[in-house]
């Protein structure tokens, strides 16, 4: 997809559609005023009649408008100017794009940048690119038609490029999540990482089965035992800083399909379990963006890739696994497998010299019970580091909420036959006891765990995005990396 700046007066833009904005007080943006004047005041009349309210994401389509060269004008609500930020910019542009993508269009001009910050323009472009891509990868008749070209007014070349990179990497994450498990499995997932690492100059290591055994990754390999697909561990590296600069580690759970193992899921619970690698896909998308943006920081991205399947060799309830850091783990539920995979990968991140760590995982249904399906849960051993992640998410308009990590939760994972067990006591606080389990493997490094079980995969479409993989938190990770050079690491 081509991203370009508009080069002519808005009324004369040669495009299939023009998108302009109105806020919730009926104020037309500078671009909307220009279009309105060319049309003889049609938009102002509709605003006066309350047909257009300016509510965020509200859409009004004006077909074959007089005085405008484009085939149609789409007026999108921008909501409150006082509360307008990157999240609103993303959502407004994405909602408009999703409506326009219902039909094939070569060129769409987004004339929304009146007074927007550079980061809002980036978010808007990312939203426009996300809105016109869907999950219909294998449909002969597509429901969603990406545009050949997006034009954006009032944006510098560097800002347009950054917005395009964010859009492409969010969509990369979404596509990886949307691919079927017969297409994305540990070996093929690692191969995808190798391809983009070579293209964009990322360092990469891929640990195969013998290397994982040599590295004593007993927890990860325990989960992988039931599958015919051998496990992989991928380590991506971006060395944009100097050799002695601190290293940020991004760690992702990559269970490419989760049957639940012997603690088997019901069919309804298994239908979307191709998405259980969304943490790894998010890390891959963020690492590609960091490399392409040429950020002057040192970042490593690590992902443990396994299938959790059932066979005669599958790991069992009552098994004791020995993790890479030497801790023994009693297995009392084989469907609590993601934390076992992450245990070994977190230890590798520590060994590789990470100053601070973020892990992302579709880890628990309990987090969705606590926070719903649209909000990611944050848990941490270091409040200052968690505050930095919260600030980055807020700046991007992505929804996260911190959950407590009181010591009492850690007592629930103590085992009578091993050092720890992979589930807590009963149903209560399951997201937090899972995080307390992961904390055992970060060696006291500042660490934030992000449970993305809810927002990583949309079972139903939103006005601004098709169902399926969402790419949630890619932009937040990039924002953290952008701020990393200024962090007290």
Domains, the chain, in order of start with CATH, read 2-155 (3.40.220.10), 176-484 (3.40.630.10)
Helix (H, G, I), strand (E, B) or coil at 205: strand
Stretch among 9-23, 165-179, 429-443, 456-470 having the lowest mean pLDDT: 9-23
pLDDT of residue 90: 98
pLDDT of residue 489: 46
What pTM was estimated for this model as a whole? 0.96
Q: Report, as an integer, the average pLDDT of 442-452.
A: 98
pLDDT of residue 485: 66
Stretch among 25-39, 283-297, 405-419 having the lowest mean pLDDT: 25-39
Q: Report, as an integer, the average pLDDT of 51-72.
A: 94
Helix (H, G, I), strand (E, B) or coil at 117: coil
Query: pLDDT exceeding 90 applies to what percent of the chain?
Result: 92
DSSP letter for each residue of 8-46: S-GGG--SSEEEEEEETTSPBPHHHHHHHHHTTSHHHHH
pLDDT of residue 155: 67
Q: Which one is catalytic: 30, 265, 327, 352?
A: 265
For the chain, what is the mean pLDDT? Answer: 96
pLDDT of residue 194: 98
- Is pLDDT above 80 for 228? yes
Q: Where are the alpha helices (DSSP H) in 225-364?
A: 267-270, 278-292, 338-351
Residues 437-476: b if buried by 16+ CB within 10 A, e if exposed: bbbbbbeebbbbbbbbbbbbbbeeebebbbbbbbbbbbbb
Q: Please say whether the beta carbons of 333 and 247 come within 8 A.
A: no
Q: Please say whether the beta carbons of 26 and 78 come within 8 A.
A: no
Cβ burial of 183 (10 Å; 0-12, 13-18, 19+) is: middle
Residue 155, φ and ψ in degrees, nearest 5: -140, 135
pLDDT of residue 305: 98
- 416 catalytic per annotation: no
- 265 catalytic per annotation: yes
Q: Which one is catalytic: 98, 339, 445, 475?
A: 339
List CB contacts of 206: < 8 A, sequence separation 6 or more: 190, 193, 194, 232, 233, 234, 235
Distances (CA, A) of 199 to 182, 193, 196, 202, 438: 25, 10, 5, 8, 33
Cβ burial of 146 (10 Å; 0-12, 13-18, 19+) is: middle
Q: Please say whether the beta carbons of 427 and 366 come within 8 A.
A: yes
Q: H/E element holding 488?
A: none
Rounded to the nearest 10 degrees, what angle do helices 278-292 and 474-484 cross at?
40
pLDDT: is 488 or 47 the higher one? 47
């Amino acid at each position: 997809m081509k991203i370009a700046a508009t080069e002519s007066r808005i009324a004369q833009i040669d495009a299939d559609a023009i998108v302009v904005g109105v806020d919730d007080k009926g104020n037309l943006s500078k671009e909307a005023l220009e279009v309105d004047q060319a049309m003889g005041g049609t938009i102002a009349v509709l605003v006066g009649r309350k047909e257009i309210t300016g509510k965020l994401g509200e859409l009004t389509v004006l077909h074959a408008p007089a005085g405008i060269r484009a085939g149609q004008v789409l007026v999108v609500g921008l909501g409150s100017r006082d509360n307008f930020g990157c999240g609103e910019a993303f959502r407004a542009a994405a909602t408009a794009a999703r409506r326009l993508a219902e039909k094939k269009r070569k060129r769409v001009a987004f004339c929304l940048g009146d007074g927007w910050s550079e980061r809002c323009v980036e978010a808007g472009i990312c939203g426009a690119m996300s809105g016109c891509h869907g999950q219909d990868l294998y449909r002969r008749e597509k429901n969603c038609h990406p545009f050949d070209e997006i034009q954006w007014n009032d944006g510098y070349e560097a800002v347009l490029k950054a917005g395009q990179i964010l859009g492409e990497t969010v969509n990369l994450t979404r596509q990886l999540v949307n691919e079927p498990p017969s297409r994305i499995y540990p070996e093929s997932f690692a191969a995808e990482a190798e391809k983009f690492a070579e293209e964009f100059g990322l360092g990469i290591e891929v640990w195969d089965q013998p290397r994982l055994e040599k590295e004593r990754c007993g927890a990860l390999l325990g989960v992988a035992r039931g599958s015919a697909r051998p496990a992989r561990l991928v380590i991506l590296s971006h060395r944009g800083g100097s050799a002695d600069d601190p290293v940020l580690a991004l760690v992702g759970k990559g269970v490419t399909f989760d049957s639940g193992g012997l603690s088997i899921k019901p069919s309804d619970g298994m239908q979307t379990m191709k998405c259980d690698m969304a943490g790894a896909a998010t890390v891959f998308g963020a690492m590609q963006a960091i490399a392409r943006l040429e950020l002057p920081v040192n970042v490593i991205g690590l992902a443990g890739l396994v299938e959790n399947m059932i066979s005669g060799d599958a790991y069992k309830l009552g098994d004791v696994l020995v993790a890479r850091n030497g801790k023994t783990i009693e297995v009392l539920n084989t469907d609590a497998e993601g934390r076992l995979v992450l245990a070994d990968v977190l230890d590798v991140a520590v060994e590789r010299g990470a100053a601070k760590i973020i892990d992302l995982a579709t880890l628990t249904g309990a987090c969705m019970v606590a926070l719903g399906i649209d909000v990611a849960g944050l848990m941490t051993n270091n409040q200052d580091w968690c505050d930095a992640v919260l600030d980055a998410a807020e700046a991007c308009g992505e929804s996260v909420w911190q959950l407590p990590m009181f010591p009492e939760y850690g007592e629930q994972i103590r085992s009578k036959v091993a050092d720890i067990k992979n589930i807590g006591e009963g149903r209560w606080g399951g997201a937090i006891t899972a995080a307390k389990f992961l904390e055992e493997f970060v060696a006291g490094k500042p660490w934030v765990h992000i449970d993305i079980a809810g927002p990583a995969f949309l079972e139903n479409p939103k006005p601004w995005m098709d169902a399926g993989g969402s790419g949630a938190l890619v932009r937040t990770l990039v924002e953290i990396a952008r701020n990393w050079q200024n962090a007290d690491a």
